[in-house]
Amino acid sequence: MNEFVPLLGLETEYGIIREDLEDSDPVEESMKLLKSCAKKSVFGKWAYSQENSHQDMRGFKVRSLAQDEEEDAFCAEDRKRPYSYLEMKCDRVLANGARYYNDHTHPEYSTPECNSLFSLVAHDVAGERVVAESAKIRNQELGGKAVQVFKNNTDYSGHSYGTHDNYLVPRDIPFDLLVKGLVPFMVTRQLYAGAGKVGSENSGAKSYKGLQLAQRSDFIENVLSIETMTRRPIINTRDEPHASRNRYRRLHLIMGDANMSAYATALKVGSTMLVLNLIASGAKLPDIELNNPVEDSLKVSHERNRNAILKKKSGDSITAQEIQEAYLEAIEKNLSGRDKESDWVIQEWKRTLNELKHSPEKLSDRIDWAIKEKLFSDFIESENLDWDDPMLQSLDLEYHNLDPDRGLYRGLEQEEEVYSLLTEKEISQAIDFPPEGTRAKIRGDAVSREGEKIKSIHWTGVEFENGDVVDLTNVISQEDVEKTHVTG
C-alpha cells in the first residue's frame, strides 16, 4: 500500500469584461484588476525560472507545446505594449499563501496547498472574495461598474479557460494505473461536478439545445495530453510536481468546471481524492474500460436524462450513474471510517447519486447544473421563451458573476436558497491566513512578516535579499513544517 499525501490545490482562471468599452483589452483589464488588489502580498517576485511545463509523465520531454506558439503570438503583440513580461504578469503571492496573477487574458487565482478538503474549499471561496474585492476597487476608480468578473469556463465565443484541481500523489504509483483508475471516473464525475451550460460550442454538436451538465466537456479532445490550451485531455500528463520529483507527482486535472457551489467543489475534489486513495491502497478497482472516453465525455454532458449509456471495450454497456456507483461501492468498502472528511464525502456522494436517480429536483440547492436547470426553466416558463433564446446564455454568464448585485448565484445565496457549506468565519480565515500544517503556511508567513525582504518566491521556496533561501521542495507534512526555519 502506498502512502497517499493529502496535499490539494485549485487553480481558477476568471473571465473578465469591461462593459463601457466596445473593444476592451483583457490583458490591460486583468493587469489593472490585479493592481487593485489591496491584500498584503509580495508583488512581481515570482520565480519563473522554477517553472517546467515540458516534462511528460509518460517519460519524455516535449520540445514545444501549442501554448508556446500562443505565448509567442502573445509576446509579439505584447512587444507593442509599454510593459515588460513581468509587469504584465502582475504576480502576487498573498499572505494566505495563494498566488494571484495575470494569465495573459485572465486573472487567475491559485489556492495555497491545503492538507484537508474543507480547508481547500474555503480557500477557493476566499479566492472569489479576493477577486471580487479587486473588481470593486477597480470599479471605484472608474466611477461605475464597468468591470465584471465571472467564475466560469467559457465566454460563448469559442474560448474556454480552466479550473484545474491538483493532487500530490506518490511517484511509485504507476502512471498507467492512475490513468486506468481515473478515466471512467472523470468522464462521469460531471454528474455532480458539472457547472451546467446552455447550448454547446463543440464543433460537432452546435445544434444541441438545452442545458448540458458541464462547460469543459465541449473542449475535451484527448484521453492523454500534456497540452492545456489546445487538444485538452481527460488526464493531463504534465509532470511538474512542485515537490521532490523522486517521491511525488502532481496530478494536474484540467477537465473540471468552475463551481459556484462550495458543496459541489467539495464533492468534486473529495470524490477524486478518495478515488486516488483507492488506487494508492492497492484495492481492486472497478473493472471498467470505456470504448471511447473522449466521445463519452460529451455524451454524458449532453444526455437529457442525465444518465448516458456508454460502451465498454468488452462490448457491454454501462450507464454513467452505474460507473459512479461502482467507484462509490469500492471506496465505501475499503475507505470508510478513516476520517470525518472522507466519511462526509462518502455520505454526500451516496445521497447525491440516489437523488439523481430518484428525485433529481432535490439537487437544485447544491449542484450547479441542477440549480441552473430550475432557475432557467422557471424563467423560460414565465417569459414564454425557448432554450435557444440568446437571453439564456446571458443568464448563464450572470450565474457566475462575482458582483453581489448582479450574480445570480450570489442572489440565491442572499435569499438562502442554496446550500451553505462554509461559515463566514471560515471564509474570512482563509482570506487572511494560510492553511496550518502546510508549506503554504511558511510561504504565507514569510509574505506577512518579511515581505519587503523577499527577492523571489515560488511554490517550492523563498529567497531573501540577504541571500537566505528557504527550500520548500520536501516540506509536505506538519513535521516538515515544524523543522523548517525562516530567516531573512
Return the C-alpha cell found at 184: 471512467
Q: 355 CB contacts (<8 Å, ≥6 apart)?
A: 362, 363
| Cα 58 to chain centroid, rounded | 23
Phi, psi of 487 (to 5 degrees): -125, 175
User: 279-318, pLDDT tens digit by residue?
Assistant: 999 999 999 999 999 999 999 999 999 999 999 999 999 9
CA–CA distance, 355 with 307 (Å, rounded to integer): 13
- What confidence tier does 79 reach under pLDDT thresholds 50, 70, 90? low
Residue 164 lies in a domain: yes
308 and 439 within one domain: no
CA–CA distance, 273 with 487 (Å, rounded to integer): 35
CA–CA distance, 205 with 209 (Å, rounded to integer): 9
Residue 3 lies in a domain: no
Residue 133 lies in a domain: yes
CA–CA distance, 424 with 54 (Å, rounded to integer): 40
pLDDT of residue 72: 53
CA–CA distance, 91 with 86 (Å, rounded to integer): 8
386 and 318 within one domain: yes
193 and 104 within one domain: yes
- Domain count for the chain, please give it: 2
* Amino acid, res. 171: R
Its pTM surpasses 0.85: yes
What would the mean pLDDT of 66-78 be, rounded to a whole number? 57
DSSP letter for each residue of 297-344 = HHHHHH-TTS--EEEBTTS-EEEHHHHHHHHHHHHHHHHTTS-HHHHH
Residue 2 lies in a domain: no
Residue 343 lies in a domain: yes
Query: Which of 131, 111, 5 has its CA nearest to residue 444?
Result: 111
Residue 299 lies in a domain: yes
Pairing of strands 232-236, 220-225: parallel
Residue 83 has pLDDT above 90, yes or no: no
Return the C-alpha cell found at 192: 455532480
Residue 1 lies in a domain: no
Query: Which of 335, 307, 332 has its CA nearest to residue 322?
Result: 307
353 and 391 within one domain: yes
pLDDT of residue 3: 65
| Cα 116 to chain centroid, rounded | 16
Return the C-alpha cell found at 179: 490513468
386 and 410 within one domain: yes
User: 185-218, pLDDT tens digit by residue?
Assistant: 999 999 999 999 999 999 899 889 999 999 999 9
Which residues is 15 bridged to in the sheet?
150
Phi, psi of 64 (to 5 degrees): -150, 160
CA–CA distance, 403 with 74 (Å, rounded to integer): 29
pLDDT of residue 71: 53
Per-chain mean pLDDT for the chain: 94
Return the C-alpha cell found at 444: 504565507
Domain boundary among 414, 429, 444: 429
151 and 24 within one domain: yes
308 and 262 within one domain: yes
User: 419-447, pLDDT tens digit by residue?
Assistant: 999 999 999 999 999 999 999 999 999 99
| pLDDT > 70 fraction of the chain, expressed in percent and rounded | 97
210 and 347 within one domain: yes
Q: Looking at residue 245, which CATH number applies to its domain?
A: 3.30.590
User: 231-242, pLDDT tens digit by residue?
Assistant: 899 999 999 999
Return the C-alpha cell found at 181: 483508475
| pLDDT > 90 fraction of the chain, expressed in percent and rounded | 87
What would the mean pLDDT of 153-170 be, rounded to a whole number? 94
216 SS3 class: helix
438 and 422 within one domain: no
pLDDT of residue 86: 80
* Residues taking part in catalysis: 103
Domain boundary among 429, 450, 472: 429
208 and 277 within one domain: yes
- The answer to whether 446 and 486 are in contact (CB under 8 A) is yes
What would the mean pLDDT of 42-53 be, rounded to a whole number? 93
31 and 53 within one domain: yes
Query: Which of 168, 173, 326, 135 has its CA nearest to residue 252?
Result: 168
- Alpha-carbon separation of residue 52 from 247, 308, 455 (angstroms): 17, 38, 20
- Range(s) of the domain holding residue 88: 8-429
332 and 197 within one domain: yes
Which residues is 311 bridged to in the sheet?
317
Return the C-alpha cell found at 76: 509579439
Give the position of cell 430550475.
374
pLDDT of residue 316: 97
Residue 68 has pLDDT above 90, yes or no: no
| Cα 64 to chain centroid, rounded | 25
